[in-house]
Amino acid sequence: MTTIERLSTRLLRVPLTRPWGPSHAAGSSGASAAVDSIGVIATHVLRSDGAEGWGFSWTPQIGAEAVQALLDHDLAPAAIGRPAAPGESWDALWAYLHEAGSGGVTTIALAGLDLALWDAEARARDLPVSHLIGRRRESARAYGSGVNLHYTHDELLAQVQRWIDAGFDAVKIKVGKPDVAEDLDRLTAVRALLGPDRALMVDANQRWTLEQATDAVTALSVVGLDWIEEPLRADDLAGHVELARRIGVPIAVGENLHTAYRFAEFLDAGGAQVVQPNIIRVGGITPFLRIAEIAAQHGAALHPHLLPELSGQLALTLPGDPWTEEVEDAGFGDLGALLDPSPVAIADGRLTETPHTGLGIRFSSGSERD
C-alpha cells in the first residue's frame, strides 16, 4: 500500500490588483476593510513510492496563518503513514480534526492535503486530474463576476461591457444597497446593456433578513434573474426554505457551506435550487465530488465557486452544463502567483484546459512569507 510519507506547507500572501470592496479602514461598526490580498498555503506531499503532489489551501485576507498551523501541527502528523490514494484517508482525517470544528478552518486545511494527493496520483499516471476523475466535455461555460457593490454606476456598466467584449453570455452582479431602488436602477441599466439573451445573476452576500430579501427579490426580479445568491445568512436553513416558498427566483447557496451534510440538508428541505461548493472550503476534491452526486440526485444545478484554475477543471467532469466563475482580475494566473502557465484558459466565455499534468497548480515563491 502506498502511504503518505511527508506533508509540508508554505504560506504566501498574494496581493489583489483590484481590491474586493471599497478601500477604507474598519469603522466603528466593525465592518472590515476591503480584501486586498489572499492567503495561500501551498502544500507538498511525498508518497512512499516517491511520487510527489502539490496542492493548496486558500482564504481571502484572514485566517491563512490559522489554517497553516492546523496543517503543520495537527494534520501532517496524523496523515503520515495513512493511505495516499485520493480520498481514502479523507474521512478518518476529518474525524480526527472534528474537535476543532466540522468545517471552516478544518475543511480548508484538509483541502491542502486532499488536492496534493489527487495531484500526486494524476502526476504518477501522467494525466491531468480531470482525466483521472473522468472528463465529460472539452469546455465549460464561464460567467463574469466581480465584487462591485461599491462601484459607481458608470464603473459597473464599464465592467459589464468588458465582460460582453470578452464573450461572456452570463454575468453576476452584487446587490444589497441600503435602498433597493438603487439596486434596481443599477440592474435595469445592466440588463439594458446585456440585452435579453444573456443570463444575469445577483449576489447579496448574506446581507438581508427574510423580510428584506422577500421585498428585494420581488422588486429586482423584473429584470430577469437566473438566481439570487446568498440572500440570507448562510446558516439560516429555515429562512431559505421560507424564502424559496415566497419568491420565484432560484436560490443559490454553497460558498459558505462546509460539509456534504449541509448541502444535503438545504436540498432536502428545498432551501436551494442551485449549489456552489467552494472546493477549498468543503475540504478538497473528495468531498466536492460527493456534493456533486448529492446535487445530481436532487436535480439541482451545481456551479463551482471561484478559483477557475481549480474549479474549471472539475467543471469539465460534472454532468449537466455547469458554469465556472471568473472574477475579474482575481485568477491566480492573472495575479502572477503561479510557477507554471495556468492549467486553464478562458476565451469567448468558455473555459478549456491547457496542457498540464496533475492539477497544474504550483505557486511561485515571489510572495512567500516566513
Catalytic residue set: 174, 305
What phi, psi does 90 have (nearest 5°)?
Answer: -60, -50
- Determine the Cα–Cα distance for residues 170 and 349; give it in Å rounded to an integer: 8
- Determine the Cα–Cα distance for residues 73 and 80; give it in Å rounded to an integer: 12
CA 5 to chain centre: 29
247, 221 Cβ separation under 8 angstroms: yes
Identify the burial level of 60 via C-beta atoms within 10 angstroms of its C-beta, where 0-12 means exposed, 13-18 middle and 19 or more buried: middle
Q: Which of 139, 120, 167 is nearest to 7 (CA)?
A: 120
- Determine the Cα–Cα distance for residues 145 and 329; give it in Å rounded to an integer: 10
Dihedral Cα 275, 281, 285, 290, nearest 10 deg: -50
Q: Which of 334, 278, 286 is nearest to 307 (CA)?
A: 278
